[in-house]
């Protein structure tokens, strides 16, 4: 309908323009009615083509800046003052993914592409890349934001994760402490209760309200409830969830667990695998053999709400889901 509406004036314009460009075709015209009709049809067809071309060039995707776009859709934002001719560097992509993933904390307009710094709405500036070369162990123990931004393979897992695949396992603690709280007490102040699969399970979970994580868990919970109605065999993975908020270090390390921040959820440990339990070691350098029973239908629903899954790490933790929308966005920008 819209196309039809625009074609009328446009057709006239292009017909006239075309005639003036090719006066020869007018002078050559014989005055028989059928010849004129044929020519008119030709020009109309040409005009329609022009109109289609005009429209396809004019139509651009609209920005979804204020909506929570489902993960897997590119919103097309780019960093301010960036020369659009030049592709974004990895650091620029990382900063952009962080700013887009957490709109309560960042304005894309505040990010300056070349300065290697993530600027918060309150004016805080966190360095992005400390420029240091690190061993894998150092990256875990002393990362910067750049180390944190790794490629997370969203969607179905085709092959077991390879050594070094661990997107989301590296966390720059100052970032999460600033966002979710600096201590157990501060994080606890922002928690709320969400009923987990109200129809089929009904366990109460404590999750953070920061970044509306509680709303995302609520949506997920209803979606999983519907999934279990169709697939009762999936209920066992979701009942007796292993836990959400718990301010603690990761076993065998001095690093804070993501459970400290209230945006992380473990499903049923009985049907899950954790590398330290499977390999009976806490040695990061141990050779591991991947194990998983968690069905991908469950993983995909979590990812659609911005959660990553620990089952995609070489150091697998298949019960573990963590709200890390920046990694899902970053993966799309590659």
Environment class of 185 (CB within 10 Å of its CB; exposed 0-12, middle 13-18, buried 19+): exposed
Among 217, 320, 324, 328, binds Zn ion (CB under 5 A): 320
- Shortest reach from residue 139's CB to Zn ion, in Å: 20
Does 321 interact with Zn ion (rule: CB under 5 A)? no
Q: Which stretch binds Zn ion (CB under 5 A): 15-23, 55-63, 67-75, 313-321?
A: 313-321
Nearer Cβ to Zn ion, position 65 or 248?
248
- Shortest reach from residue 107's CB to Zn ion, in Å: 31
> For Zn ion, which residue has the nearest CB?
320
CB atoms within 10 A of CB 141: 13
- Encoded tokens for 145: 């934001």
Give the whole-angstrom CA distance, residue 320 versus residue 11.
60
Does 171 interact with Zn ion (rule: CB under 5 A)? no
Nearer Cβ to Zn ion, position 14 or 320?
320
Residue 260: DSSP 8-state: G
Contact 182, 213 (CB under 8 A): no
* Residues whose CB is less than 8 angstroms from the CB of residue 247 and which lie 6 or more positions away in sequence, other chains included: 183, 184, 187, 256, 259, 260
- Encoded tokens for 45: 């067809």
Nearer Cβ to Zn ion, position 143 or 311?
311
Which of 242, 251, 298 has its CA nearest to residue 275? 251
- Shortest reach from residue 322's CB to Zn ion, in Å: 7
Sole residue written with tokens 């894309």: 108
Contact 262, 180 (CB under 8 A): yes
Give the whole-angstrom CA distance, residue 267 versus residue 243.
7
Nearer Cβ to Zn ion, position 113 or 168?
168
Sole residue written with tokens 């004019």: 58
Q: Which stretch binds Zn ion (CB under 5 A): 115-123, 184-192, 261-269, 298-306?
A: 261-269
- Shortest reach from residue 53's CB to Zn ion, in Å: 53
- Shortest reach from residue 320's CB to Zn ion, in Å: 3
Nearer Cβ to Zn ion, position 146 or 266?
266
Which of 215, 274, 265 has its CA nearest to residue 243? 265
Q: Which stretch binds Zn ion (CB under 5 A): 127-135, 184-192, 202-210, 262-270?
A: 262-270
Does 266 interact with Zn ion (rule: CB under 5 A)? yes
- Shortest reach from residue 165's CB to Zn ion, in Å: 17
- Shortest reach from residue 272's CB to Zn ion, in Å: 9
In the complex, the residues that contact Zn ion under the rule CB under 5 A are 266, 320
């Amino acid at each position: 309908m819209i196309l039809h509406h625009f074609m009328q004036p446009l057709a006239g314009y292009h017909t006239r323009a075309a005639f003036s460009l090719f006066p020869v075709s007018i002078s050559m015209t014989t005055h028989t009615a059928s010849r004129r009709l044929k020519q008119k049809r030709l020009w109309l067809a040409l005009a329609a083509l022009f109109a289609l071309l005009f429209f396809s060039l004019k139509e651009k995707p609209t920005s979804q800046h204020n909506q929570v776009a489902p993960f897997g859709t590119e919103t097309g934002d780019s960093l301010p003052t960036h020369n659009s001719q030049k592709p974004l560097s990895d650091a620029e992509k990382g900063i952009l993914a962080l700013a887009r993933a957490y709109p309560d904390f960042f304005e894309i307009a505040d990010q300056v592409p070349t300065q290697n710094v993530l600027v918060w709405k309150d004016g805080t500036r966190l360095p992005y890349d400390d420029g240091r070369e690190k061993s894998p162990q150092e990256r875990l123990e002393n990362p910067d934001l750049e180390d944190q931004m790794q490629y997370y393979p969203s969607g179905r897992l085709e092959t077991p994760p390879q050594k070094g695949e661990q997107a989301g396992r590296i966390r720059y603690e100052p970032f999460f402490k600033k966002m979710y709280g600096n201590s157990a007490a501060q994080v606890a102040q922002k928690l709320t209760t969400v009923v987990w699969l109200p129809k089929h399970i009904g366990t109460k979970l404590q999750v953070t309200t920061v970044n509306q994580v509680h709303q995302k868990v609520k949506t997920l919970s209803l979606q999983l409830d519907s999934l279990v109605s169709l697939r009762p065999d999936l209920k066992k993975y979701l009942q007796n969830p292993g836990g959400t908020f718990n301010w603690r270090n990761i076993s065998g390390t001095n690093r804070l667990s993501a459970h400290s921040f209230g945006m992380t959820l473990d499903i049923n440990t009985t049907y899950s695998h954790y590398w330290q339990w499977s390999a009976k070691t806490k040695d990061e350098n141990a050779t591991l053999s991947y194990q998983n029973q968690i069905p991908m239908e469950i993983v995909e629903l979590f990812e659609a709400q911005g959660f990553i899954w620990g089952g995609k790490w070489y150091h697998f933790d298949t019960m573990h889901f963590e709200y890390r929308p920046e990694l899902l966005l970053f993966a799309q920008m590659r």
